[in-house]
Structure 1
Amino acid sequence: MQNRSPLLLFLTLLFIQTSVSFGQKNEPTTGPVFNDVGAVFSIDDLDFLPDKSQELKAIFDIDRKQTDPSASNPIISSLHRYYNMHVRYGVPKDKIHLALVLHGSSTKDALSPAVYKEKFKTDNPNKDLINTLSEIGVDVYICGQSMSYMGYSKKDLLPEVKVALSAMTVLTVYQMDNYALIKF
């Protein structure tokens, strides 16, 4: 029986070490494009990566809103993640071309600070997200139909937001220009 005790101890320690290492979490980190938003996980031993010489073109269809007006729209920050993730794995920033269109219940995310504060009694948590995307060259559109339906006009919007005839129009034209549709 005593001969099994060291083996049992070894197996127990091995089990504990294995359990601890499997239980460790890979924490998401930001960068290299956006350091305050767009956290992504680092993945080892990947089987699929995009060709680094290929242009990545995507249009994000955003129609959901947060129920809490003080919380940012996580779909908007997906574009930050897209940049951080692909640049981290070797795609040059100038090979990434993104656009987004806000419509439906996400229309409120495009409102100027004054209009947002008046309507929701809090600051627009999407203002900086939209601004940083615009600064890097992302085209930010709002559906003119949704904007009008909600009772807003162009003067009520953030300066980075462009008014389109409709979200359907933007999505059609961008896809005809070989932008992949990303819809969550």
Structure 2
Amino acid sequence: MRAVLISCLMGASFALTAHAGPEDFVPGTVITGFGDVAAVEDARLGADTEFHIAYDIAQAAAQGEVSRALVTPARFLNMHVAAGVPEENIHLAVVVHGGAYRDLLNAESYGAENPNAPLIEQLIAHGVTIELCGQTAAYRDVSEDDLLPGVTISLSAMTSHALLQQQGYTLNPF
């Protein structure tokens, strides 16, 4: 009897927390058109919260599609500003290497309009740095002229991550 009661109570508690769904996600207000978020209260967040987050992207999106990996920092910005963290307290860096270099190319080098261009433009406009690994660029014969405006080339992805870590950035595993 006791096991049945505990099981019922546990089931009821899960039912209470599982009341949200996809319809609860709304467009973000910082990076528009990318990175829908749901409102979730987190008492740890507020006006004094500060983030220094680095993202590592090696896998390209399918040709003609927006990179889900590039949407992740947009969602981070949208979600945390909505939760009360001032945008100026959120410092994001994206380090790109490997096949993902393609997602950073301008239309001429991409061979068509790059679907990532509007997202990258907004990320950079909101202070997100986007660096391409120089070793990848050299291997793929990519120059700064091939890249979308604001994207930079570093010596290597390893160098970028080492320098970002020295500046207090943590690597986001998502």
TM-score scaled to structure 2, two decimals? 0.83
Shift of 1:24: 5.5
Q: 54, 63, 73: which is aligned to 1:69?
A: 63
Shift of 1:22: 4.9
Equivalent residue runs for 1:1-184 within 5 Å: 22=19, 25-43=22-40, 46=41, 49-66=44-61, 68-117=62-111, 122-184=112-174
Any idea what SS the aligned residue of 2:30 has?
coil
Shift of 1:39: 0.4
The equivalent of 1:10 in structure 2 is: none
Shift of 1:52: 3.0
Name the % identity: 34
On the 8 A contact 1:62/1:183 being kept in 2, the answer is: no
Go from structure 1 to structure 2 and tell me whether the alpha carbon gap of 1:178 and 1:150 turns closer, same or farther (over 3 Å shift): same
Q: Which has the larger radius of gyration?
A: 1
Go from structure 1 to structure 2 and tell me whether the alpha carbon gap of 1:65 and 1:90 turns closer, same or farther (over 3 Å shift): same
> RMSD over aligned Cα, in angstroms?
2.0
Question: Which whole-Å deviations, capped at 9, do the CAs of 1:135-154 have from their partners, x for residues lacking one?
Answer: 11111110010111112222
Shift of 1:129: 1.0
TM-score scaled to structure 1, two decimals? 0.79
Shift of 1:133: 0.6
Question: Which whole-Å deviations, capped at 9, do the CAs of 1:136-181 have from their partners, x for residues lacking one?
Answer: 1111110010111112222211121111000110001101111111
Structure 1's unaligned 5+ residue stretches are 1-17
**In structure 1, distance between residues paired with 2:91 and 2:128:** 7
